[in-house]
Structure 1
Amino acid sequence: MNSIKYLVFSVLLLAALAGCEKGQEADYDDNFHPRIIDNNGVFLSPNRIIFQGQSAVYSGLMFSPKPNTKTKVVWKVNDKEVSTDTTYTFTPTAGGEYEVKVEASYNGQVSTRISKVLVSPTTYTFKNFSHVALAYLSENGTAKQVDWANVTHVAFNGAKVTPDGLDISKGQVNQVTDELVAQAHINGIRAMLGVSGTLSGIDGWSLYQSNNFGNAISDPGRRAALVAQIATYVKDRKLDGVDVMMTDLSDFGERNIAATGPFIAALRAALPAESVITITVTTNWMHWGYSNLNMVDWVNVHAFEDGAISPGSPVAQPSSYEYMIAGANIWKNNHGPASKVVVGIPAFGLRFDELDGNGNNLGWGSYSYVPYSAILAKDAQAFGKEMTTMDGKTVFYNGIPMVERKADFLKVNGFKGAYMWAVDYDVIGTNSLMKALNNKLK
């Protein structure tokens, strides 16, 4: 009996093997959906960023069924067929955004893998502008938060001065800096690296009693090392310049500010000749401490958030029209000319979270900052106002009418332009503050 069972099993096995040798029809029926097996993870990240002249290599893929007369592999770049091989190397000859797609088809069924490749161009032409409209990204900003049609320059606060040197990790994660530079150059925009110490929050000021930046530039040896690090990073990442965001002012403000002159002189000598160098400056009494700034292309004046948030301070607009004018005129009248002054406008609001018995700010920690985008999310009509409420708390901010009024003043009075801190707090579209600012300045 066992011998009979064995004989039957052997016959069936031989029949199955014979069937397999007849062709893939025995293994894969007409309804089989082909597969693209990516063991090497070449499509693991759907987005790649490369410089023109570099290549994006797609290899190590397996296809099931294996490619034959009934299984076809096709590679496409921006929907144009470029190869039928099982591997593909994409070497772009121009900057831009590309879609690399591989298709495996079998009996009319298709599997697809897609990769987006952003190519930073080797040659590009910067667009002309009458006034600077600088979009400043915080350390958490990305290129996707920039409306490229409404900016003339972009800066990314992607370099932090620490006791150990220059921390550029924020720009390295997911190639944030490379993506920003690529998109900027594709759109004819200069991309700058913002260098700062540790900031306290979204307002763009330094952490209280933090002097990492000031300590570094006040010491000749450390200053030289820092300049070398910045220059190397700017050149390697194809950046177009640097903004020196010197806001370490609490304990050694005068010393730190005095050191910005030698620091900028060293940067100018180390960076490519065409680099843009700017500096973000204060509007308080310490402005007198700045040395010769002839070597900067312009100064960015932090003329927003007046600092009236001490215990008992009235609940009021901290970034008023009048405060901006006063800050702008400090630099126009005492350091001049206006044509080298770019004035800051906020894309965030101040919320008073706790009040005292008189209805004033309760204390040093009784307020918070809110991005403009979050304000709009709570109040769809906030774009046309300067004050609203969030969760029952009063929030003051700059809406579109205020931004347009400030831009008008700057344009009429001969200032070089304005910058927005930070543009990743803004929105893109009809209610964008950056769009309103640029439309008034251009």
Structure 2
Amino acid sequence: MKKQYLLLAVVIVITFIAGFYTGVFYSTKITRLDNQNIIKVKQVPKSAIKPQLKEIPKTVPTKTKVLIGYVQDFRDPDVVDYSKLTHVIFSFAHPTKEGNILLNGDSALTNLRAMVAKADKHGTKVMLAVGGWYHIKGGESYPYFKAAISNPTTRTKLVNNLTKLADREKLDGIDIDFEYPRSSSDAANLAVFTKELSNKLHPKGKELSIAVYSKIHAEAGTVMASVMYDPGMFKDVDHVNIMAYDGQWDGGYHAANLSPYPFTKNVVNYWSNLFKTYHLSKEKLVLGVPFYAQPDNPSVKQVSYAAIINKYPANAETDTVSMNGTIYHYNGETTMRMKTKLALDNGFGGMMLWEAGHDSKGLHSLTGAIFNVLKDSTQQFATTNR
């Protein structure tokens, strides 16, 4: 019995010693693998394999280009495709000479509030435009706006009233549409007004934009000196919305000059060079395009792009149509895509349209055509900068 126990003890001791040295040999070999990164065994337990560290992908911030749509105050807020617009600009609040502001009755205020509610669901910003071409009291808006911003007291009053309205209606900002500063004093007063309004809005996290004349004669291609701006004021705004349309009035009435592509190229070149000269960011520049058609016969009214496409959908890719006994000139999908690419190639911050209520729904939407070019450029930027 003692011999059996003795034999068993010897076996256990031998087994233990053999296991110990095997473990030492194995652990030594793994240590060498770790230190020298040389694999000398056919198979290593999975638990002994160190996971290879991968470089964490760099996240590149997406450059968002704006797509700004003006909407007239009488429009049904449901006509707007909020999902494609970054900003909606409700048009217009009318300035008085005393520095007050007027809206077009209770219906305008109702539409504004409905628009704010609908836009909020899509993360779309809502701004209020002050000014415009026509005034609610009749005639041009120019003399009312000019008087309000020429006097320091009425100018500050207008600034305060716009700020209060923006706060009360939960707006994301104000758009200045003074059509147009026609003297150096006009330009100086507009610059002071812009600065004052900027100082009120920006600390509240609200935006300030300004609509500007194209400054280019659609027929001659020359720079028009009749409209004046102080370039220094552009540093106080977030967006400069260039109204690159309504060229049909240049050099006599010619409907074809509404907003042809060569005219737009001249406009883009002018504003690009101006901003470069004054060391301003071209990301502030927003190229405006028309969503309406101009008739050859001036006694015939303008029509919307939607009115053309609803009747002649095949004309979505062209820029002219024969309708109502006259030829209409407009910008179709092809031209809109070309203009959007032109703006992007020149470093502009996006596109603007006048106005959303003129657009066609569905497949031939001009808003959709512009949106797709902007979206593709954003995706391409994110891909090429990874």
Distance 1:171 1:390 in 2: 36
Point out the more displaced range, 171-180 or 422-431.
171-180
Distance 1:290 1:214 in 2: 18
Distance 2:245 2:133 in 1: 19
Question: Structure 2 residue aligned with 1:151, among 62, 66, 85?
Answer: 85
State the secondary structure of the residue aligned to 2:234. coil
Q: Which consecutive unaligned segments of at least 5 residues does structure 2 have? A: 1-61, 216-224, 376-386
The corresponding residue for 2:95 is 161
Q: CA deviation at 1:210?
A: 3.8
Distance 2:269 2:125 in 1: 27
The aligned runs of 1:235-314 (5 Å cut-off) are 235-249=167-181, 252-271=182-201, 272-284=203-215, 285=225, 286-308=227-249, 311=252, 313-314=253-254
Distance 1:183 1:438 in 2: 19
Point out the more displaced range, 265-274 or 217-226.
265-274
Relative distance call for 1:227 and 1:208 in structure 2 (3 A) is: closer
> Is 1:327 paired with 2:267?
yes
Q: CA deviation at 1:289?
A: 4.1
Distance 1:277 1:174 in 2: 20
The corresponding residue for 1:346 is 290
CA contact (8 A) 2:103 2:109 kept: no
**For 1:363-413, what per-residue CA distance to the aligned partner results, in whole angstroms no more than 9, with x for missing partners?**
xx5453221122223323221210001211010001111101101111222
CA contact (8 A) 1:197 1:248 kept: no
CA contact (8 A) 2:255 2:295 kept: no
Counting aligned pairs with the same residue, the percent is 26
The corresponding residue for 1:193 is 128
CA contact (8 A) 1:260 1:290 kept: no
> Is 1:181 paired with 2:116?
yes
Q: Which has the higher strand share?
A: 1
Distance 1:155 1:171 in 2: 18
What TM-score comes out, normalization by structure 1 length? 0.62
Q: CA deviation at 1:130?
A: 1.8
The corresponding residue for 1:101 is none
Question: Structure 1 residue aligned with 2:331, among 392, 398, 402?
Answer: 398
The aligned runs of 1:338-417 (5 Å cut-off) are 338-353=282-297, 366=299, 368-417=301-350
Q: Which amino acid aligns with 1:161?
A: P
Distance 2:344 2:159 in 1: 34
- Larger relative contact order, structure 1 or 2 (CA cutoff 8 Å, min sep 6): 2
Q: CA deviation at 1:176?
A: 0.9
Q: Which amino acid aligns with 2:208?
A: I
**For 1:198-257, what per-residue CA distance to the aligned partner results, in whole angstroms no more than 9, with x for missing partners?**
4289xxxx95584211221111111111111111110000000011011134xx444333
**For 1:26-79, what per-residue CA distance to the aligned partner results, in whole angstroms no more than 9, with x for missing partners?**
xxxxxxxxxxxxxxxxxxxxxxxxxxxxxxxxxxxxxxxxxxxxxxxxxxxxxx
**For 1:106-130, what per-residue CA distance to the aligned partner results, in whole angstroms no more than 9, with x for missing partners?**
xxxxxxxxxxxxxxxxxxxxxx762
**For 1:268-302, what per-residue CA distance to the aligned partner results, in whole angstroms no more than 9, with x for missing partners?**
22225311101011122334544432110121111
CA contact (8 A) 2:184 2:228 kept: no
Q: CA deviation at 1:317?
A: 4.0
State the secondary structure of the residue aligned to 1:148. coil
The corresponding residue for 2:37 is none
CA contact (8 A) 2:272 2:346 kept: no
Q: CA deviation at 1:309?
A: 5.5
CA contact (8 A) 2:306 2:361 kept: no
Q: Which amino acid aligns with 1:153?
A: H
Q: Which amino acid aligns with 1:352?
A: D
CA contact (8 A) 1:137 1:423 kept: yes
CA contact (8 A) 1:328 1:341 kept: no
CA contact (8 A) 2:69 2:352 kept: yes
Q: Which has the higher helix share?
A: 2
Aligned residues: 298
The corresponding residue for 1:102 is none
State the secondary structure of the residue aligned to 2:347. coil
Q: Which amino acid aligns with 2:350?
A: G
The aligned runs of 1:22-171 (5 Å cut-off) are 130-163=64-97, 165-170=100-105
CA contact (8 A) 2:248 2:254 kept: no
Between Structure 1 and Structure 2, whose CA radius of gyration is higher?
2
Distance 1:231 1:171 in 2: 20
Distance 2:319 2:124 in 1: 31
Q: Which amino acid aligns with 2:104?
A: S
Distance 1:129 1:240 in 2: 20
Q: Which amino acid aligns with 2:199?
A: A
State the secondary structure of the residue aligned to 2:313. coil
State the secondary structure of the residue aligned to 1:187. coil
